[in-house]
Chains A and B, each alone.
Chain A
Amino acid sequence: MKKAVKIILFVILTLGIAYLTYGVLSWKDTSGEYYSSVKMLDNTPGNTVDVAFVGTSHVYNGLYPGYLWEQYGIPAFDMSISGMDKYSTLYYVKEFCKKQSPKVVCVDAYAFLYERNAVQGNVYRNMLSMHLGVNNVNMIRDYVGKEDMWDYVLRWPIIHTRYKELKQDDFFFGGVNKYLRGERMLFDREGLDEIADYHASDILEPISDKNREIVDALIDVSLQEDFKLLFMVVPYGASAEDTAKLRGIEKYLGERGYLLYNGIAAKDEMNIVPMDDYCDFAHLNYYGALKFTEWISKYVVECAEFEDHRGDARYSLWDLDLAYYQESRVRTAICSFLNKGDFENVLNMAKADPGLSLVVVLDGEAPKSVDYNKLLEGLPVSEQASKTEGIWNLCGPVVSLVSKTNTDKPVYFDLDRYNVVKIEKTEDGSSVYVGSNEYGKIHNGLYIMLWSNTDREVVNYWIYE
């Protein structure tokens, strides 16, 4: 008996440790940088989401649930994953409906334009993010095929190699995944040259058998789960081949009594400006996403009866999401002011936002172009700063190291539990590090770094010499 107990205890202990190890190694993002719409959904109370947007990176970049919450009090969610294929679309909709009872589900038709994902990482994101279950196994079998499916189903054969790429978030996973609603906000303006006129040609590629099958299956699910199904296309620089396929899909949807809400065709209606509204060749940035979200929301709100849930404690995650949405806007505005050297506005905005910190370093003399005294005006001294060499100042939620770095030793400051700023004076200036990464070097000038407490990363840094 004693031996049997030992064996059982050993098995339990081994499985426990294997489980913890799996937790560290498991696949953790759906859209890069440890953002996981699946984890965000896990953290969402059941039966709270009224509108789901399902699709690829076009969706999580191009649609902000925060807009629907802010404008209408409608709790929406981006159930989207980078490179979501047609099989994943169907099974993620089914999986979504296990815990939620959406009134409207908008599906991104871009997922129907390709058979296989060109990027292996996206295959992992789609196949490995869903919780193991019937939907997951079926999805893997349909996409990967029977021969390789068990490597995906078992996870270990794929994820065990992640020991080479582990980061802090693999051990302390959480952060924005606790409250975001699936979106990613990017403010870059890389731009597109143009988006071709959708109506310039009427060449149509008939819908493929597989696409037809998946569309029919989605319609069946919508009838079964009693939600309104919308098909949409987030505007992007579609090729002639893509638009031909989209016309084919649109035609079939029409035969089945469904519309395709085509952002490419409606780009002028939305006033999409390719040079301003895109962060790369395919994805809307913040500015473009607002336009598209506003446009599609008009159709979404007409589809069903929605209750305004603002003020309801059950929907507090949407309030937090909105706060992050607003913090991102503040962050962009601060960057803009810092680009212009408008420190008064920078400090005013940063003081009001606990999600952001400023790190300020002076090397030598402040440049004449900067009103340094105005910058320092009214900043009290922090307790930590007062224990360290140099001159330190703290301003509310804005942490600022203001140090005339005339010391031979490096100066350290904790941004949070794991991230430390180091400022090291050398003959040719002061180098600023966060951890082991260098973020700029100044020689006789002023340095400002914008740090996001939410994302635990450097947003940007500026040097005024």
Chain B
Amino acid sequence: MVFNSVSFLIFFPIVVGLYFVLPKKARTAWLLVTSYYFYMSWNALYAILILFSTFITYLAGILLGKSKSEKGKKWVVAGSLIINLGILFFFKYFDFALDNLNAVLNLINVKIISNPFDILLPVGISFYTFQALGYTIDVYRGEVPAEKNFIRYALFVSFFPQLVAGPIERSKNLLSQVERLNKERLFSYEKVVSGFSMMCWGMFLKMVLADNIAIFVDSVWDNLQMAGSTATIFAAVAFSLQIYCDFGGYSTIAIGAARVMGFDLMENFNTPYFATSIADFWRRWHISLSSWFRDYVYIPLGGNRCSKVRHYINIMITFLVSGLWHGADWTYVIWGGIHGAYQVIGKLLMPVREKLTKLFKVNIRTTSYHLGQIVVTFALTTFAWIFFRADSLSEAKLFIKHLLTKPDPWNLFNGSLYGFGVDTTDFHVIVVAIFALVLADIIRYRRKCDIGAFLYGQNLWFRWLVLIVLIVACLVYGAYGIHFDSAQFIYFQF
């Protein structure tokens, strides 16, 4: 069940409706049952896996709470990590590892190993595994007490709005809210309105923007041999927008859905393309994941509290692992590596930049400088996305080759871009929708509040106008229906 489906449009009101009318004591169980139902709508067998992972990390938390010795605690954490990461490795990376091993064996003329398994990647496994492991480590560090109530803990791991594609929640935030379920009055008109607004905005980003842009992007990538610089540049920029709207849209719906039920999930995207540096980008993009890697990988490695060389190595390790988390393919690893390299190079070149700005008397406090930083950062992230989008390294190389070596500016003016799956009407719709996105992000950037809170603060007539326009836009311009791909949210493959 995906958010932009009829089944979710039926499922969600029923869940919320009963959630508000059920006795307080039944709420946790109700949400747990519906979350498992939501997850099992993908594949009923997946429930076994998430239940097992939940049990292991729950048990780890209990043992950590009871254990007195530091050594014992470490063994518990290690055990939880090995088991959960082992499951993740098996379902997500086994085929990749085997393919690479066979590639090496082939080079040295040794017989390759055949794959005895037919492995299907359970949706959302990367997300809930990290969420559960985060809990284990938080209990180990003493940041949260072990949760003794299994039902509450199971709901923390499987809470449906954020189960399959994040945000990856922290136990400090979500578990404490789950614990309050049985005690507090939940219905808040403000949260319902604000949450509903977020859901409408998220649907708009996903259905109107991401899915329609995808048609153009996919067409360019599918016809790469015919694409010149113009088409590839447009496709690269378009993919930057597509992935933002797809993943950001999903997160927005998830946060909105949770908010309707009174939960405050962590922010996952904060105007990432207004970032002024790559480091700033990672403070704004997939915040739940980047902060998870910061807290559970980068800082334990030593962070920046070590030698410069070690610091740079820590950055590279963190980003290479982050790349690998996104997918079992070298393209993702390289994408992560590029971002790591950007940051390392950025740090290395910092003294040079400072000298140059002084030499040329560049005023770094001006809007133009700020805008320049944003444009450069966007260009760098867009370049990196090429590897993320490509199906293989060779495909990425071909794309870059066409981008750099086939200049064809006349194709901007002769309408040939419309030959890549998007006609003039679609193009106009996308342009207007991008304008709305930029406007929303500017409001977010300046007002420091999300679209739901912003709309709630407006007059009723304006709020209704915006919501109705968003709903009708999704109904009319959304890329859905029998002749559209059932385009999954990009991050679902993780």
Asked whether A and B interact, the reply is yes
Which chain A residues lie closer than 8 Å to B475 at the CB level?
Answer: 18, 21, 156, 160
Interface pair A21/B476, CB less than 8 Å apart: yes
In the complex, what residues of B have CB within 8 A of residue A157's CB?
A: 480-482
CB-CB under 8 A from B464, the residues of chain A are 10, 13
Q: How far is A13 from B472 in the complex, measured between Cα atoms in Å?
A: 12
A-B contact count (CB 8 A): 46
| Contact call B482/A13, Cβ cutoff below 8 A | no
The answer to whether the Cβ of B460 comes within 8 Å of any Cβ in the partner chain is yes
Structural contact, B477 and A163, CB atoms closer than 8 A = yes
| Docked-complex contact A21 and B472, CB < 8 angstroms | yes
B 461-483 binary contact with A (CB < 8 Å = 1; else 0): 00010011001100111101111
**Count of interface residues, chain A, beta-carbon cutoff 8 Å:** 21
A150, B6: Cβ atoms closer than 8 Å: yes
Set A3, A14, A163: member contacting B476, Cβ < 8 A:
A163
B65: shortest Cβ distance to chain A, in Å? 43
Whether a CB of chain A sits under 8 angstroms from the CB of B143 is no
Residue from A14, A18, A21, A151 within 8 A of B481 (CB atoms): A151
* Complex: A296 Cα to B429 Cα, angstroms: 52
Judge if A275 is at the interface, Cβ distance under 8 Å.
no
Residues in A1-52 with C-beta less than 8 Å from chain B: 3, 6, 10, 13-14, 17-18, 21, 25
Chain B residues contacting A3 (CB-CB under 8 Å) are: 189
Residues of A within 8 A of B482 (CB): 148, 151-152, 157-158
> What is the size, in residues, of chain B's interface with A at 8 Å between Cβ atoms?
19
Task: Give the complex CA separation of A271 and B467 in angstroms.
Answer: 64
List chain A residues, Cβ under 8 A from B481: 151, 156-158, 160-161
* Residue-wise interface mask of A (123-140) relative to B, using a CB-CB cutoff of 8 A (1 in contact, 0 not): 000000000000000000
Report the minimum CB–CB distance from B364 to chain A (whole Å). Answer: 47
Contacts of A459 in B (CB 8 A): none
On whether the beta carbons of B468 and A14 are closer than 8 Å, the reply is yes
Whether the Cβ atoms of A164 and B471 lie closer than 8 Å is: no
Query: Residues of A contacting B476 with CB < 8 Å?
Result: 21, 25, 160, 163
Q: Is B425 an interface residue (CB 8 A)?
A: yes
- Give B327-381 interface residues, CB cut-off 8 Å to A: none
Enumerate chain B interface residues (CB-CB to A < 8 A).
6, 189, 423, 425-426, 460, 464, 467-468, 471-472, 475-478, 480-483
Q: Can you give 29 A-B contacts (C-beta < 8 A)?
A: A3-B189, A10-B464, A10-B467, A13-B468, A14-B467, A14-B468, A17-B468, A17-B472, A18-B475, A150-B6, A151-B481, A152-B482, A154-B6, A156-B475, A157-B481, A157-B482, A158-B482, A158-B483, A160-B475, A160-B476, A160-B477, A160-B478, A160-B480, A160-B481, A161-B483, A163-B476, A164-B423, A164-B425, A164-B426
Q: Could you list which residues of chain A lie within 8 angstroms of chain B, going by C-beta atoms?
A: 3, 6, 10, 13-14, 17-18, 21, 25, 148, 150-152, 154, 156-158, 160-161, 163-164
For the A-B complex with A157-B482, A160-B477 known, give 10 more contacts whose Cβ atoms are closer than 8 Å: A10-B464, A10-B467, A14-B468, A25-B476, A150-B6, A160-B476, A160-B481, A163-B425, A163-B476, A164-B426
The 6 A-B pairs at the shortest CB distance, nearest first, are namely: A157-B481, A151-B482, A3-B189, A164-B425, A160-B476, A163-B476
